[in-house]
Structure 1
Amino acid sequence: MTGIKITEGAVAAGEESILSPAQRGDQSFLSKCDRLLGHLVEYPVAVLVVAEVVILFAGIVARYVLHRPLIWSDELASILFLWLAMLGAVVAFRRGEHMRMTALVGMMNPARRAFFDVVAVVGALAFLLLIIYPAYDYAHEETYITTPALEIANAWRAAALPVGAALMIVSSLIKLFQVSNLRNVFTAVVLIGTIALVLWLLGPSLKTLGNLNLLIFFVGIVAALVLSGVPIAFSFGLATFGYLSLTTSVPMLVVVGRMDEGMSHLILLAVPLFVFLGVLIEMTGMARAMVQFLASLLGHVRGGLSYVLIGAMYLVSGISGAKAADMAAVAPVLFPEMKARGAKPGELVALLSATGAQTETVPPSLVLITIGSVTGVSIAALFTGGLLPGVVLAIMLCFVVRHRYRNEDLSHVTKATGSQIGRAFLIALPALALPFIIRAAVVEGVATATEVSTIGIVYAVLAGLLIYRQFDWKRLKPMLVDTASLSGAILLIIGAATAMAWALTQSGFSRDLAAVMSALPGGPITFLAVSIVAFIILGSVLEGIPAIVLFGPLLFPIAQQVGVHEVHYAMVVILAMGIGLFAPPFGVGYYAACAIGRVNPDEGMRPIWGYLAALVIGTILVAAIPWISIGFL
């Protein structure tokens, strides 16, 4: 994973600097401040992860076993979740674990690379300084709102936003003061400040450009920031803040509100819980047992575990309702063994991203539920229609895997005997039962998509303690902190993307797009082709749900007018949106996959294009053959 680690960059630049005793004392003081900040944040986030598990599992027991629902459980979980997201983002910022693109920066010499490391921190600091007062104002406004169940001021929840921003400001200042080359810091501050000043001076002229500003801010500025190494979340946030403040009269309080909305959706609570479940499965030995069984079945086949990854993502997809959580449940189980067999990290994260896009239509998917709720299409029909398109795309990915691993060296791998497979199956049976237990809990109504991960966590703890007899209590706190850090990095990106989606809506861009598409010649073929291109682009800019919410109600009536079945159209646009969502350099899902796999985004850039091409071909097949989507309705 590539993060903001400017002190290492300065050392890598080869700059020789002899620090005086006073300077060494300053560095020691700053290091102590950094460690103190770490202690102040890491212990609370570890407790918050545990608290979320306890609250949600208690809600399941009270409702399903005792038949006395805890009416306050979801509300308390939501309050704590925003704190978990923001403090997790602080941990990620301090550790340098916010996702950023370094493809261009990585090709520079050490001195320039060190400079752009500083630019990354200054860019993030600029956004945090811009957002800190609106965040405080937003939290203050929430004091007038009382939560329905707990009957406390909603400011207790909203205060997480300004507190998290303030702590990240402190962390960024510590990072900047630790840089020995002050010229880099001064130059970066002047550069960012000059760009902001120029845009401010051009503000009156920008207001006359209309939707051309969308290209300037959401394409030009986002691209410049991302390619310069500024973390993705802060790049999205700066572009959105700049667009709204310079070209509209919208108060910046709205930006914070939209970020809050995007980050604190209760279904996303499944992300940290499934991340924790993933590391728990590895720590308890369940992952090893599962991998050994899977390897005994397909380990002797070239690319065998890649096929397993594709199939596993299809089986577990939609359990949590959040694609990042699905990936977090599968990757920790398979990645270690795949790496041990020689697979490159970039290849693994590329395939993980591709399977994320492949399984967007597999029920019970949150995207399917959302598209049904905003368009009026039968959710039951969408669930039925979503199964085969995922299989078609899985087959296309298997062709790519077969081609890429055709020369894999398996000379050191022996085919397992029947008795070995049987023994591995018995050992792995408690672990293999976990996905079925989770899915059954959702289908039978025992737990919601958010709560179900806690059943998996409790099951994994019991299995580790009682069956596999492998549970390292010393690793628990670091695992909880890592979970919060990874979740905070992902959720901050989603929050910034949600704010960007709202800005696009206010611009009228969605209405203009619908008007253009309804006037296209060529009937359903042209309409479907343009829809595929449009939703790939939209998916790469927006988080999946906002893209569906924005454009679904506008485009589905047009699809019906041109003769495209609504379920067929839903499958096409969801698959296209998924491709964009997991396509670099802008796709949020791609960076989520990199964060979950703990792989530098640059490493997956080259191998992912072959998988994306297979997904595009599969989507075209689904679009061209309506039976794939509606044959079983």
Structure 2
Amino acid sequence: MTVADKTADMSEEFLLGGLETLEPPRAGSLWMRPFEAVAACLLVVIIALLFTGVVSRYVFSFPIIWVDEVASISFLWLAMLGAALAIDRSEHLRLTLFVNLLPEQLRTLAETFGMLLVALFLAVMLRPAFEYAMEESFITSAALNIPMSWRASALPVGVGLMLVLALYRGLRGASLPHVAVSVVAIAAATGLLWLLIPGFKEIGNWNIPIFLVGFVAFFLVIGIPIAFCFGLGTLAFLTFSTSVPIFVMIGRMDEGMSSIVLLSVPIFVLLGCILDATGMGKAIVEFLASLLGHVRAGMSYVLLGSLFLVSGISGSKVSDMATVAPALFPEMKRRGHKPPEMIALLATGAAMAETVPPSIVLIVLGSAAGVSIAGLFTSGFAIAMVLLLVLAVLARWKSRREAMEGVRRAPLSVIKKTLLVAAPALILPFIIRTAVGEGIATATEVSTIAVLYALIIGMVLYGGISRGRLYTMFVETAALSGAILMILGAASAMAWALTQTGFAAQLVQSVQGLPGGWLSFMGVTILIFLVLGCVLEGLPAIVLMAPIMFPVARSLGIHDVHYAMVVVTAMNIGLMTPPIGIGFYIACKIGNVSPDEAMRAIWPYIGALLIGLLLIAAVPFFSTAFL
């Protein structure tokens, strides 16, 4: 019997039920099982290599120089195979709000049309990917002394596999008329754009709103996955309005997916899965409930505090909400909290906690904008505390009529027992933050240590994870990581195309002439990232805009970390803002509440977050005091 089991009976009267899980992702096709196995093995290899490198460097003072190269090779293969798995399992991120409003026939046509457009993009990119791999064969790696084509071959293999899967998904179950209409429409649009090439080249940077805004927005509306929206928009921009060869685009995509810092992304995704499977997050929730559950608004405080602490372990908003909501909602309902209010607090609480390390968004932002991840992790705690305080004040006011009949303080013995169970989980976010913030280890190294720590603690104290469940988690992590990294690669290519036009330099000049100086620029930043957060989700918005916006902020004397906190906070508020914000609908699904009902309740909480955001933007002290 585990420690958690021993205290379950004792604390049942005061703690809050079991942890439910989200629906598992759809299993992949049978013929994809070998690729799933390879992707799972690659993830294990990466973790083993990184851990070996950490031990050899810090314990034996003997760095193994080839570890990073092998991990980098494995990482690109994991990214490309994972992106293919995400197509097979329908796990690429996309905006479905508008497609779902269409009648069934039009929705089916849009899905067929969209998947054939994805196949077109992949077909066009296949030859450049192959040529890129061939070019890399002339470059030899520094440590292993092998051709870099061993690594770059992942690109044509992944693109080819995704092409087959996109065609299969686009044609499977589609009616012949839908396929014919889609093919004719794509061919006609391509032909028309080809005829208009002379005109496009004459209008210069006006092609940016046509291709990189208009086309991308259209692709988003019809439900094409975000990564391929960026890819198609950039491909069209380069093909029809410039003389830049498409070969360059595959190199930009590789660069966007290959930063060594991004190695921590799949590992932190896996950490979120382990948190959910072992119940470590539930242990934190139960401890906070025993400590604060008896006070007025106590359950709201527990929800916010749990999101704050759990986010520091998982790095994933979905995992955070899925861990916290099922454990707290039954008791909150009993005390008179209305489900829409609970969803509003859950969604905005998840947005608040996004800056708590080990936030994947902060890691990607540090990589894309060249900002210290240690500085972002240090500042992230302080910024989350500001937002936590604002939400807690609103929650207290909202709970002034909370039904407290029958609620009593948990005995000290229960608090001690729940603390004992939660302690191993509670210290994990502080280990992560301290190790990175103090420069003891990089985010990538800490992610590896955190996963192994969670696995060992989970097996010893929390009941462990079965082999079958562990393998499933590896495959799910590979698919989700591939989807994320594909977005980063495509967004990097699009950001490069934007910067090559001189748009960034023009933006600097126009912004520097704004009345109000850096404060006006902060206002513009907030509006931009609120909108992008609604539409694009966090990671693509950051990779797309960071190379453009951060140089402007620096030219105005804004501290990188201060600006990063404003960007991330604004983006996450947008993510949870209806009627478009994707995170809002995820929260509604987790809490099983109609979005229409929750939409009316969330606005005061969004307002509270906006007040916190304005404070963060106007007062650099909150972001930089602890650096």
TM-score (norm 1): 0.81
> In the alignment, is residue 306 of structure 1 matched against residue 296 of structure 2?
no
Partner of 1:203: 197
CA contact (8 A) 1:100 1:231 kept: yes
Q: Give how far 1:173 is off.
A: 2.2
Contact 1:368–1:382 (Cα < 8 Å) also in 2:
no
RMSD over aligned CA atoms reads 4.1
Could you tell me how far 1:497 is from its partner in structure 2?
1.1
Q: Give the counterpart letter for 2:492 in structure 1.
A: T
The answer for the alignment partner of 1:191 in structure 2 is: 185
List aligned pairs for 1:27-106, cutoff 5 A. Answer: 35-106=29-100
- Match for residue 337 of structure 1? 327
Q: Alpha-carbon deviations, 1:299-341, whole Å to 9, x = none? A: 452424431245326756xxxxxxx945477456435435666
Partners of 1:369 and 1:503 lie apart in 2 by: 21
The alpha carbon displacement at 1:193 in A equals 2.8
Q: Deviation digits for residues 518-542 of structure 1, max 9, x if unmatched?
A: 2223445444434544565677775
Alignment of 1:449-460 (within 5 A): 449-460=443-454
Q: Does 1:135 align with 2:129?
A: yes
Given that residues 397 and 614 in structure 1 are in contact (C-alpha distance below 8 angstroms), is that contact kept between their aligned partners in structure 2?
A: yes
Whichever residue aligns with residue 571 of structure 2, its letter is G
Q: Aligned letter for 2:451?
A: I
Gaps of 5+ in 1: 6-30, 317-323, 561-565
Q: CA offsets, 1:74-102, max 9 Å, x none?
A: 11111111111111111110011111111
Structure 1 pair 632–151 and aligned structure 2 pair: CA distance change class (3 A): closer
Q: Deviations over 1:61-82 (max 9, x none)?
A: 1111122111111111111111
Task: Note closer, same or farther for the CA distance 1:443–1:103 as it changes in structure 2 (3 Å cut).
Answer: closer
Q: What one-letter code is carried by the residue in structure 2 that aligns with 1:337?
A: A
CA change 1:544–1:101 in 2 (3 A) is closer
Deviation digits for residues 494-521 of structure 1 (CA, Å, limit 9, x no counterpart): 1111111111101111111111112223
Q: 2:105 aligns with which of 111, 115, 135?
A: 111
Give the secondary structure class of the aligned counterpart of 1:500.
Answer: helix
Q: Is the 1:222–1:235 Cα contact (8 Å) retained in structure 2?
A: yes
Q: Paired residue for 1:234?
A: 228
Q: How does 1:334-413 map to 2 (within 5 A)?
A: 334-338=324-328, 350-351=347-348, 354-355=351-352, 366=363, 388-399=382-393
Shift of the alpha carbon at 1:104?
A: 1.2
Q: 2 CA distance for matches of 1:464 and 1:119?
A: 45
Does 2:505 correspond to 1:515?
no
Counterpart amino acid of 1:290?
A: I
Paired with 1:446 and 1:593, the residues of 2 have a C-alpha distance of 37
**Are the aligned partners of 1:2 and 1:99 in contact in 2 as well (CA < 8 Å)?**
no
Q: Are the structure 2 counterparts of residues 69 and 591 from structure 1 closer, same or farther at C-alpha, using a change threshold of 3 Å? A: farther
- 1:475 positional shift: 1.1
Shift in Å, 1:229? 0.9
CA distance in 2: counterparts of 1:490 and 1:60, whole angstroms: 26
- Give 2:290's match in structure 1, choosing from 296, 299, 303: 296
Residues 3-14 of structure 1 correspond to what in structure 2 (within 5 A)? none
Match of 2:462 among 465, 468, 483: 468
- State the distance in 1 between where 2:89 and 2:177 align: 24
Alpha-carbon distance change, 158 to 51 in structure 1, aligned in 2, over 3 angstroms: same
Residue 576 of structure 1: aligned partner: 567
Distance change (3 Å), C-alpha of 1:37 and 1:358: same
- Report if the CA contact (8 A) 2:345-2:602 is conserved: no
Q: Answer whether contact 1:57 1:451 (CA < 8 A) is retained.
A: yes
Letter in 2 for 1:511: A
Return the letter of the residue paired with 2:542. G
Q: Is the 8 A contact 2:307 2:320 kept in 1?
A: no
* Residue aligning to 1:544: 542
| Maintained 8 Å contact 2:351/2:576 | no
Following the alignment from structure 2 to structure 1, what is the Cα–Cα distance between the partners of residues 506 and 499?
10
Aligned partners of 1:158 and 1:464: how far apart in 2? 37
Task: Determine if the alignment matches structure 1 residue 215 to structure 2 residue 209.
Answer: yes
Structure 2 CA distance, aligned partners of 1:339 and 1:50?
Answer: 36
Deviations 1:323-376 (A, max 9, x none): x945477456435435666768975884366236555999995578669957xx
**Identity of paired residues, percent?**
39
Pairs aligned (count) = 587
State the 1:472 CA deviation. 1.4
Give how far 1:184 is off.
1.6
- Seen in structure 2, the aligned counterparts of structure 1 residues 211 and 46 have a Cα distance that, compared at 3 Å, is same
Residues of 1 paired with 2:291 and 2:361: CA distance? Answer: 28
* 1:302/1:402 contact within 8 Å kept: no
Contact 1:354–1:611 (CA under 8 A) maintained in structure 2: no
The CA deviation at 1:177 is 3.7
Q: 2:375 touches 2:561 (CA, 8 Å); kept in 1?
A: no
> Among residues 139, 163, 167, which one is paired with 1:145 in the alignment?
139
Deviations 1:382-439 (A, max 9, x none): 8877664443333334456557777788889765332212111112222222223333
Contact 1:358 1:393 in 2 (8 A): no
Deviates more, 1:490-499 or 1:602-611: 602-611
Tell me the CA shift for residue 584 of structure 1.
Answer: 4.9
Give 3-state SS (helix, strand or coil) of 1:144's partner.
Answer: coil
The worse-fitting range, judged by mean Cα deviation, of 619-628 and 187-196 is 619-628
Instruction: Using the TM superposition, give the Cα deviation of residue 294 of structure 1 relative to its aligned residue in structure 2, in angstroms.
Output: 2.6
One-letter identity of the residue aligned with 2:515: P
Question: 2:269 and 2:302 mapped to 1: Cα distance?
Answer: 21
**Cα 1:622–1:434 shift into 2, 3 Å:** closer
CA distance in 2, matches of 1:477, 1:383: 30
| Structure 1 stretch displaced more, 547-556 or 86-95 | 547-556
Q: Which residue of 2 aligns with 1:281?
A: 275
Is the 1:360–1:390 Cα contact (8 Å) retained in structure 2?
no
- Would you say the 8 A contact 2:252–2:489 is kept in 1? yes
- Quote the offset at 1:59 in angstroms: 0.8
Name the CA shift for 1:269/1:594 in 2 (closer, same or farther; >3 Å): farther
Q: Given that residues 245 and 252 in structure 1 are in contact (C-alpha distance below 8 angstroms), is that contact kept between their aligned partners in structure 2?
A: yes
Counterpart pick for 1:424 among 395, 418, 423? 418
Q: Name the residue aligned to 1:439.
A: 433
Partner of 1:22: none
SS of alignment partner, residue 521 of structure 1: coil
Post-superposition offset of 1:208: 1.6
1:271 to 265, 279, 301: 265
TM-score (norm 2): 0.81
Deviation string, structure 1 residues 589-614 (Cα, Å, up to 9, x no partner): 976998999979x9699587665544
Instruction: Show the counterpart of 1:16.
Output: none
CA distance in 1, matches of 2:554, 2:251: 28
* Separation in 1, partners of 2:350, 2:359: 15
Please give the alpha-carbon distance, in whole angstroms, between the structure 1 residues aligned to 2:36 and 2:360: 36
SS in 1 for 2:574: coil
Q: Hey, what's the Cα distance between the residues in 2 that align with 1:512 and 1:306?
A: 45
Cα shift at 1:264: 1.7
The partner residue of 1:261 within 240, 243, 255 is 255
Give the aligned partner of residue 563 of structure 1. Answer: none
In structure 2, distance between residues paired with 1:81 and 1:490: 13
Counterpart-to-counterpart distance in 2, 1:235 and 1:632: 39
CA distance in 2, matches of 1:246, 1:598: 41
CA distance in 1, matches of 2:354, 2:198: 41
Aligned counterpart, 2:16: none
Tell me how far 1:209 sits from its aligned partner: 1.7
How far does residue 137 in structure 1 lie from its aligned partner after superposition? 1.4
Q: Hey, what's the Cα distance between the residues in 2 that align with 1:134 and 1:481?
A: 28
